[in-house]
Structure 1
């Protein structure tokens, strides 16, 4: 008896199966986005309540780091497949329970104040669920890979209310395609997934864009944003990827090592937060407060330096998570500092968005995703689209050129 998968040959049956699969992916991604968002809010509220009691917040943050370290020490006794492994089917086993615990641990640590992104958690959880739903007998490997990638993009879109950026992320991680059917499918799945959190939280932008002025100096800053964003974004991407790869290969033998490292990291974060409270979390506070002129010139400079450093230290200490929002916040801080230092505070929102888009596009190596993500997060008006697209395209292009040179630098990319 042959073990070869028997994929449906009836076109009508195949179409129905793919339609049902797409709807299931959208539904699961939307639900995952809501669950992880609610869990994040729960942890953030618990931590915020401790601020009423002196010295309790650092203790709670350190405890959260220790708990996360114990969880990851236990989880990493066996290999955990990455999201890319799941999408490309390189991994042979997909441990649903361990992957779920890993995802919630990431969000738990972000809610406690760690400087890592939370976008990796919904992506990996949605990818694992999607891949387990579809039997190889009913779908070709290419179809399963696309549905899994679509789940990643849809979950990302559901968390941040960015359906088009979610679709762009899907297209960026599957093999390059010019098939309009796949592009349309990615858009549909991502948009349907976002409808679920929108029914609960509404369709308001993630960040409220205040009054601003778009003047000639904004176009001059486009050039500066491209250069700074490409250099810092590419460097940040290479270093963070090397750290993540190294951590994935490590299997800590001593149960106390990860808890001790993450506990120390959270204490360091708490100490910095005493003077710069906006450093807490994945970077949302920096963007929220910065857009409304609630951060000083010197603070923007400190945040632009400490945010990426804390993110890299968090990853090196053993934390799992993303770098998306920290990169966005770092670019926004640089843009805000330039706006205030050049005595054009009325352009601060524009400078922040251009800096954020450039650094994000370079760090994610995707101009389309970087531009769409920033536009959707703020519901940026159409007059800002041209400079944002220029920043994203320029930063990605220059970043790819720099990447080829940086790869030869043994300090940034040490031999394995």
Structure 2
């Protein structure tokens, strides 16, 4: 029996069997994330002697020569690891290294061994000090397990796409203790849809992953922040900081897009990480805070423990370091570096704001701006707010100014930069498809494909992320999809090819 509720009529089959697959994917993602975090701690301990004081303290107490040596070693490792995976044809994590690309253009089909290998390389590079996020590795591992399970059961591209995204969200959930945030990230950011039939499996996958990770990881808040009160000054800060955070997010997304688009190839792909990471080690001699994913920097800003001159340095140096690491070919995530950038940006804004209207705690300013900038950069306002709520376990006391800032940031960022932090790394043929009325992007959602056919005209060609023709649409299948085509909410034009082109 169908529900009369319109947002439950999504097409396709997400029954009890799929919920069981979501649990299996979540548990595999959680265990993989736990093992990867153990590897991270081992690498940090061997490289920096990290103890109870944490990564930042270990780096700051190390000598200049040690910082240079460790980062040079990280560059050599990234160069050799990348070379080995390229020669083996086992680059995982998506087209152009971005998971979103393989979800939408590749039907969620990830090379299992290659994706796990890239995750191990990523977590090792972050442990050695690369200015990238640790979440990329568990996100890739979770997506790899979801893709593996779907392909072994010969599920449709739509089912495979969903399960890979749920696995990625589960990986984030388990490593950061954010079960609801991980589920929303999978739906809002990776799948671009909060359709109700997928919410249950997403929450179940992320919850299972978080529970499985408890076997290896502690249950605690990632960021320790004070419980600041909302004041009139703080509310006024949120009104101003939102649009400014949106402006900063748009600039940050363009910086990341530029760095990713200029990744080296050939012999340069081997030399670039060695040179860039060695230079990063040189900069760290004077500014050790730029190393690592930025967790300690963000927490310092959230507690008001960073003076304004250092905030001013980090608001420029940290995003540049992240872009440089990404641009040289080092694998890693962008979530925590983005939070760190937003935190120092908000902390610096808060210093200036308190000169005009005292009464806004510096840490609260940093937290509000970090949430707004994260939402604007990822184009995921709901997931960003929930993620920061779970990461701090204190954001609820600042919810009203946070939502005001997020709304302002989203309004500005969407106007200035339509791409998200993840979509900007997809080298896709959308522009070519838009310029050619007889072509459509393989990532075009089912609803857009159907509208195009109903409007009349020739059956379009389907272009992949590079602008290469994959074949023509099967117009009859689009108009009358079968149950085996899977949930239409996650179906794309690339799932309905009638005459695939052969690639040489």
TM-score (normalised: structure 2): 0.71
Q: Aligned equivalents of 1:41 and 1:345: distance in 2?
A: 39
Could you tell me whether the CA contact under 8 Å between 2:19 and 2:201 is conserved in 1? no
In the TM superposition, what is the alpha-carbon distance from 1:75 to its structure 2 partner? 1.8
Q: Aligned equivalents of 2:317 and 2:364: distance in 1?
A: 22
Other-structure match for 1:268? 279
Any unmatched runs of 5+ in structure 1? Answer: 1-12, 407-412
210-219 or 47-56: which moved more? 47-56
Could you tell me whether the CA contact under 8 Å between 1:279 and 1:285 is conserved in 2? no
Q: Aligned equivalents of 1:48 and 1:65: distance in 2?
A: 16
Out of 168, 172, 186, the position equivalent to 1:156 is 172
Other-structure match for 1:10? none
378-387 or 259-268: which moved more? 259-268
In the TM superposition, what is the alpha-carbon distance from 1:52 to its structure 2 partner? 5.1
In the TM superposition, what is the alpha-carbon distance from 1:230 to its structure 2 partner? 0.7
Other-structure match for 2:213? 197
151-160 or 311-320: which moved more? 311-320
In the TM superposition, what is the alpha-carbon distance from 1:163 to its structure 2 partner? 1.1
Any unmatched runs of 5+ in structure 2? Answer: 1-12, 50-58, 421-426, 432-465, 467-504
Out of 275, 296, 307, the position equivalent to 1:285 is 296
Out of 379, 386, 390, the position equivalent to 1:376 is 390
Other-structure match for 1:105? 121
Q: What are the equivalent positions in structure 2 for 1:11-410 lying under 5 Å apart? A: 15-49=15-49, 55-77=65-87, 78=89, 80=92, 81-82=94-95, 83-88=99-104, 90=106, 94-135=110-151, 139-173=155-189, 175-177=191-193, 179-247=195-263, 252-254=265-267, 257-341=268-352, 342=354, 347-403=361-417
In the TM superposition, what is the alpha-carbon distance from 1:293 to its structure 2 partner? 3.8
Cα RMSD (Å): 2.8
Q: Aligned equivalents of 1:99 and 1:322: distance in 2?
A: 14
Could you tell me whether the CA contact under 8 Å between 1:146 and 1:174 is conserved in 2? no
In the TM superposition, what is the alpha-carbon distance from 1:125 to its structure 2 partner? 2.1
Q: Aligned equivalents of 1:206 and 1:74: distance in 2?
A: 34
148-157 or 272-281: which moved more? 272-281
TM-score (normalised: structure 1): 0.85
In the TM superposition, what is the alpha-carbon distance from 1:355 to its structure 2 partner? 1.2
Q: Matched residue of 1:75: which SS?
A: helix
Q: 1:185 to 1:106 in 2, by over 3 A?
A: same
Other-structure match for 1:4? none
Aligned pairs, number: 392
Q: Matched residue of 2:417: which SS?
A: helix
Other-structure match for 1:9? none
30-39 or 168-177: which moved more? 168-177
User: Larger Cα Rg: Structure 1 or Structure 2?
Assistant: 2
Q: 1:92 to 1:372 in 2, by over 3 A?
A: closer
**Cα deviation per residue 1:317-373 (whole Å; 9 max; x = unaligned)?**
222222211111111001112333435587122101111111111111111122111
Q: Matched residue of 2:292: which SS?
A: coil
The structure richer in helix per residue is: 1
Q: Aligned equivalents of 1:136 and 1:356: distance in 2?
A: 40
116-125 or 75-84: which moved more? 75-84
Q: Aligned equivalents of 2:371 and 2:112: distance in 1?
A: 34
